[in-house]
Structure 1
Amino acid sequence: MSDAPASPPPMRGNLTEGPVLRTLLMFSVPTLLANILQSASGTINSIWVGRLIGEDALAATANANIVMFLISSAAFGFGMAGTVLIGQRFGARDIDGARRVFGTAIGFCFLLALIIAVVGYFVSPPLLKALGTPGDAYGLAVTYLRIIFLSMPFLMVSIVLTMGLRGAGDARTPLIFMIVTVVIDTIFNPLLIRGFGPVPPLGIAGSALSTMAASFISFLGMLAFTYAKDLPLRLRGPEVRYLIPAREELRFIITKGLPMGAQMLVMSASGVIMVSLVNQEGLVVTAAYAAAMQLFTYIQMPAMAIGGAVSAMASQFIGAKKWHELDGVTRAGIMINFVMTGVLTLLLLLLDRQALGLFLGSGSDAVPVGEHIQLVASWNFVLFGVTMVYSATMRAGGAVIIPLIIITIALYPVRLGFYYLTYHQLGADAIWYGFPVSAVASLVLGWWFYRYSNWRKHPRPESAEEAAEQAQADADPAGRMIPDL
């Protein structure tokens, strides 16, 4: 009889088992589909608002959404930090530790969202004035934003729940309930805007209430599903106390989450600057750029989805102390990105006139300008995706400042510097060529930091079980329950 220790039993959601490429691909696809559905839902809602209420209402939602993006960036950062730590604990087979992280993230974000909801409701008018919201849209924007603020508690908790499930290797459940959200919101939006049966027409408030109701119903459904299927992160009995934030887990979520959220803000601010530069080129160029950006939103989705999947998968490998496998995860992510983003970019270039015509009309003077923008700038998202993979792996190891440095350098000194240095020679092309130039810079920086920096040495906080184990091992090295791998 062999004296070798028995292999641990398979664990649901374990991303460290099986072929890396296939596992990562199967995990990325549901995340990508969920992202596409979320963007499509926003587009459909904008169509309902614009068609059923008018341009002033559409402008109102656009202004309110700027404020909500700033807040959701924080939720994304904290949720991503929770995903990393949950993945590390899950990979270490420390399910109780993963639940403790999950409870801390949910409890902290819920309390934070309550404060934001109350404060946001009262400061909505001055916030919108500070944004320079047009007078015709101002009243509508206040109504819309206040309702969205009131929905913040379960919106933020839903984001954390979704990202926590992905950290535990489950991308299917969030996809199911994203479908539920989109279906409900798409149906409720026109009904509440125009009224039906005993429900009076609610106008823009109806659109906001539709989004609120869809998110709330989906959140309750996802929560019920988590318990009904006994998913690993559900909290039962004494585990409910994990909703009271634990100090070490909370410190990790805040210190790692803030830089991740800041990265979203850096990208958003860069986008605002780019729009201001494009606006100087006239109405036709601005319209072409607006249409191109609508298409770019979908091109970059594979990179975003793959980055999130790589981060969750790498976190589990780190938790399992399989650091030597991380390069394989990174290579697999790069390969999938090249195929997905590359094929999508090629399709867009082949069908660019038809795609741009959906937004501009086939006879618009802006279509040829949009085609030129696509030809010059669209392929940069393939390189951007590679940088996302490098950054995702480093984030899984706890290195969150490095990705922030990379994106900041690429978007500001490089992209804006290229624009100001070459504008007199290239004109508006200085804007479009800035995209691939900054993408190359971010790729080089990402590769260099991944290859040569000390990101693999970033420690992760120990769970209570691991701390007790370590104390026992220090006293009696032969007494360690789980050997280092």
Structure 2
Amino acid sequence: MTPTDRAADAARPSPDSAIEPVPPPETSVTREPVVAQILHLVWPALAYQGLFLTIQLFDQFLAGRFSQSHQAALTTANYLYWFVTSYTVVVNAGATALVGRFVGGDDLAHARRATGQAILLAIAFGALAAVAGLVGLPALISTLNLEGEGAAHAVAYLNPLAVLLPCYMIEVGGIACLVGAGDTRTGLKVLATVVFINVPLAWGFSHGTGPFPDLGFVGIAWGTGLSHAVGCAYVLVVLARGRFGLKLTPADLVPDSDLIYRLLRVSVPAAIDSVSMGSFQLVFLGMINALGETAASAHGIALRLEALGYLSGAAFATAAVSFVGRALGAGRPDLAARGGWTALALGGSMMTVMGVIFFFAARPMFKSFSPENDPTPVIEAGVPVLRLIAFAMPALASTIVLTQALRGAGDTRVPVLFTWVGFLGVRLPLAYILTRPDVGMGLFGAWLAMFVDIHVRGAFFLWRYIGGKWQQIKV
């Protein structure tokens, strides 16, 4: 055997070495402690959720100077805007999951390409939603038992938001890609800018202050919509300059059918879930609107206050979706599972604390947002439901955090069934029974149905996560 032959034979793997598994690449998601990573991801996400809630509460505060019919219109408008924008998931779910897998596997070229395709989808679906919203709003509102002045106010409020909806889609789609890459700080900076601009715009347009025209109630919506247009521009500038390995170029915006298919394969089931939930929520709202303007106004305020608990769960959910996707991309399903449990434990603890606050401070909290002209009926209707939902915070944490943990893994099909069972099997039929005049439970009966639904779905998501099948899903 020549020296060359011996060298070649030494380089050739032995039978034993050929079957040894190749260890997954060592990345930041596998090197650093899980709790530290979750906390690092969550504080910007928590601040982001707080700023988003600030916009909603500020809008609710501005609406407080108007009549009860305006309050009811704002509640319906917020439901409808949430319904129309809920299908942003058709971009966000796939973007976060796919970018997370690519970044976790250290494939930044495909991560950038997937980001470009997500922006393309955001533009297309945003334009489609804007047209559908402008054409279909009057007919949709008429089906929700909101009549007269309240219906007219709701349509007028939603029109500017529909016009500017593509900007919002691009904003949240770009942020979803950055979250997949492990960046939760940019979203915070974007929304801080949005809030900074929204406050003077919404105030100015609704009051006619300084150079702003007096648009009254509709001015609140113009302030919100225009501020998100600025947020859209901010996100595009960040992606063009490059952040966390994502640097958007014109070449990344050329349609790629394979990546678009992979994005939609994850996102479409999640969007069906989200839009289904939005549709069911509209039916639920119709039941509440049928109870009268006082119930509708109290319901809207209670939802805004409940969001103070929801935001901490949503922040830990953002941390979970980012961590789970990257851990799976790095070939560490065990680490992904640990990250989801950590996010649930920490987020659930914070939500439980907020539940205690809801229970003991419900009345003063409600007084801050009730109509100035006649607050007592709204307060008396709303305080009991806020105290009730305080006891649902742990179950709600399970639903919120584990939904996103599963989406980070690309597990978006089975959770659709949980939504359908929770709403069609529990919330809607139970709310119909409890709000009937002969039962007489009114708004409290509707929220009791929601309370039961949250516990049922929370248990389902816990069962799915414990099962572990999500760890084998390919995206």
TM-score (norm. length: structure 1): 0.80
Question: Which position in structure 2 is the counterpart of 1:84?
Answer: 97
Question: Which position in structure 2 is the counterpart of 1:161?
Answer: 174
Structure 1 residue 426, shift from structure 2 partner: 8.2
Question: Which position in structure 2 is the counterpart of 1:339?
Answer: 349
Letter paired with 2:105 = A
Q: Which has the higher contact order (CA 8 A, sep 6+)?
A: 2
Q: Against the structure 1 CA distance between its residues 284 and 189, is the aligned structure 2 distance closer, same or farther, given a 3 Å change threshold?
A: closer
> Bigger CA drift: 419-428 or 330-339?
419-428
1:376 partnered with 2:393: no
Q: Give the one of 387, 396, 420 matched to 1:408.
A: 420
Question: Which position in structure 2 is the counterpart of 1:74?
Answer: 87
Structure 1 residue 168, shift from structure 2 partner: 0.9
RMSD: 3.6
Deviation readout 1:190-248 (Å, 9 max, x if unpaired): 32344456654444564444333322223223333444565421223xxx222123222
Unpaired segments ≥5 residues, structure 1: 461-485
Question: Which position in structure 1 is the counterpart of 2:327?
Answer: 317
Q: Against the structure 1 CA distance between its residues 171 and 343, is the aligned structure 2 distance closer, same or farther, given a 3 Å change threshold?
A: same
Deviation readout 1:300-353 (Å, 9 max, x if unpaired): 222222222211110000111111212211220121122211111112222223
1:94 partnered with 2:107: yes
Q: How many residues align?
A: 449
Write the distance in 2 (CA, Å) between the matches of 1:376 and 1:264. Answer: 25
Q: Give the one of 264, 267, 285 matched to 2:277.
A: 267
> Bigger CA drift: 32-41 or 194-203?
194-203
Contact 2:76–2:285 (CA<8 Å) still a contact in 1?
A: no
Question: Which position in structure 2 is the counterpart of 1:35?
Answer: 49
Structure 1 residue 120, shift from structure 2 partner: 4.6
Question: Which position in structure 2 is the counterpart of 1:183?
Answer: 196
Write the distance in 1 (CA, Å) between the matches of 2:297 and 2:171. Answer: 35
Unpaired segments ≥5 residues, structure 2: 1-21
Structure 1 residue 59, shift from structure 2 partner: 5.8
Write the distance in 2 (CA, Å) between the matches of 1:410 and 1:259. Answer: 17
Contact 2:324–2:405 (CA<8 Å) still a contact in 1?
A: yes
1:22 partnered with 2:32: no
1:213 partnered with 2:223: no
Structure 1 residue 24, shift from structure 2 partner: 0.8
> Bigger CA drift: 377-386 or 318-327?
377-386
Contact 2:25–2:105 (CA<8 Å) still a contact in 1?
A: no
Write the distance in 2 (CA, Å) between the matches of 1:146 and 1:427. Answer: 36
Q: Against the structure 1 CA distance between its residues 400 and 192, is the aligned structure 2 distance closer, same or farther, given a 3 Å change threshold?
A: same
> Bigger CA drift: 264-273 or 174-183?
264-273
Contact 2:204–2:210 (CA<8 Å) still a contact in 1?
A: no
Secondary structure of 1:348's aligned partner: helix
Secondary structure of 2:247's aligned partner: coil
Question: Which position in structure 2 is the counterpart of 1:389?
Answer: 401
Write the distance in 1 (CA, Å) between the matches of 2:147 and 2:208. Answer: 27
Structure 1 residue 432, shift from structure 2 partner: 4.6
Structure 1 residue 94, shift from structure 2 partner: 0.7
> Bigger CA drift: 359-368 or 158-167?
359-368
Q: Against the structure 1 CA distance between its residues 150 and 293, is the aligned structure 2 distance closer, same or farther, given a 3 Å change threshold?
A: closer
Deviation readout 1:413-440 (Å, 9 max, x if unpaired): 1344556788999863654544443333
Write the distance in 2 (CA, Å) between the matches of 1:376 and 1:142. Answer: 32
Letter paired with 1:330 = G
Contact 2:130–2:162 (CA<8 Å) still a contact in 1?
A: yes
Letter paired with 2:394 = V
Write the distance in 2 (CA, Å) between the matches of 1:33 and 1:320. Answer: 28
Question: Which position in structure 2 is the counterpart of 1:108?
Answer: 121
Fraction of identical pairs, as percent: 21
